[in-house]
A = this chain, B = another copy of it.
């Protein structure tokens, strides 16, 4: 096991009707003037935004609102948010939405007190101060409610880049699974895929003897498989929604990733897909990740066999572990297809002839990337070609 730091100071308030307490928690964490940041019209239509604002008013907290966050959140809205916060002397940001909304809020939070361009933080500059953030989560997916990470897309060129800092971790996150019950099946499945991908990025490691982290990864994945079939069949299943929502947070605050090297190449490759086609991140991952597995599994056949046996319930073939490893990968792809995810370029709306463009945008040049298996441009091309033609 490698040395590590683990720090997850966010207070999580989980369960039915908890959004009505958001004013109380903003008060607890010192907010007096709040930017309420939200996305699509659904928060408005469902009455969620009204309930949130009422809770602020009940607690004597002033606020301004800024909506319009899109999936793959854009730099343009963040610039607008920063200006608004400065003008209105905002001292706390409340995100009411999913991962895109939280990531946008983090960009604003980092930029308000910074004299330069906030985009610097997405090009490698360290975040050293930020406004405090709270979240009311409406989609189980990104895990941004419990992480210090943020991914933003620069509209000019559709460049998708990320940043991360403990300073950007939300002070509190309110998780009411009932708020996710109205999500369409496709978006729900995209979230499920993202959650599972966050675990797999950590599961595939070259570090030995990290049984506790392995087992915690498997715990989240076993839960996701069981509960996902339930929620796709019955979107109103509160209990399944609850298990998935909490699993989504556990999957990405790094409790399932400590003490080991991690990979993250599937995420890196997918960012170029959703950057170019503006598709859902989870959908892109469903196409990329099993293809990445097929390309790299020979690097550590027994680890993929462990995945197959412990997570997908495959029988171990002791005479031919490679067969077991492949069966696990196929089981993952079948699962993704079962829950309605695309598994190849055609289903995603991507084009094989764009592969050179995707690699160009990746910007890898002659370099290499990734923690489990180092990939060069040619490897990424090969993975995208598998992804282009994959089938169950």
The reply to whether A243 and B209 form a contact with Cβ atoms under 8 Å apart is yes
The reply to whether B3 and A209 form a contact with Cβ atoms under 8 Å apart is no
Bound CA span A14–B212, Å: 14
Closest residue of chain B to A240 (Cβ to Cβ) is B209
**Complex interface: chain B residues within 8 A of A220 (CB):** 212, 215-216
Partner of A216, one of B4, B216, B242: B216
The reply to whether A243 and B14 form a contact with Cβ atoms under 8 Å apart is no
The reply to whether B243 and A1 form a contact with Cβ atoms under 8 Å apart is yes
The reply to whether A258 and B239 form a contact with Cβ atoms under 8 Å apart is no
Closest residue of chain B to A7 (Cβ to Cβ) is B11
Closest residue of chain B to A15 (Cβ to Cβ) is B3
Partner of A243, one of B11, B13, B212: B212
The reply to whether A227 and B243 form a contact with Cβ atoms under 8 Å apart is no
Q: CB of A2 within 8 A of chain B?
A: yes
Min CB distance A95 to B, Å, is 19
Min CB distance A345 to B, Å, is 33
Partner of A212, one of B4, B212, B247: B247
Contact with B along A5-18 (1 / 0, CB 8 A): 11111011111101
The reply to whether B13 and A216 form a contact with Cβ atoms under 8 Å apart is no
Bound CA span A222–B258, Å: 18
Interchain residue pairs with CB less than 8 A apart (8): A1-B239, A3-B18, A5-B12, A6-B11, A208-B239, A211-B223, A215-B223, A246-B259
The reply to whether A258 and B14 form a contact with Cβ atoms under 8 Å apart is yes
| Chain A interface residue number, banded | 35 or more
Q: CB of A218 within 8 A of chain B?
A: yes
Copies of this chain, complex-wide, total: 2
Bound CA span A11–B177, Å: 28
The reply to whether B242 and A1 form a contact with Cβ atoms under 8 Å apart is yes
Name the interface residues of A78-131: CB closer than 8 Å to any CB of B: none
Closest residue of chain B to A213 (Cβ to Cβ) is B246
**Complex interface: chain B residues within 8 A of A255 (CB):** 250, 255
Min CB distance A166 to B, Å, is 9
The reply to whether B6 and A259 form a contact with Cβ atoms under 8 Å apart is no
Partner of A215, one of B4, B18, B212, B222: B222
The reply to whether A250 and B216 form a contact with Cβ atoms under 8 Å apart is yes
**Complex interface: chain B residues within 8 A of A316 (CB):** none
Closest residue of chain B to A8 (Cβ to Cβ) is B8
Bound CA span A216–B220, Å: 7
Min CB distance A173 to B, Å, is 10
Bound CA span A240–B208, Å: 11
Bound CA span A211–B240, Å: 9
Min CB distance A202 to B, Å, is 14
The reply to whether B219 and A215 form a contact with Cβ atoms under 8 Å apart is yes
Q: CB of A210 within 8 A of chain B?
A: yes
The reply to whether A212 and B250 form a contact with Cβ atoms under 8 Å apart is yes
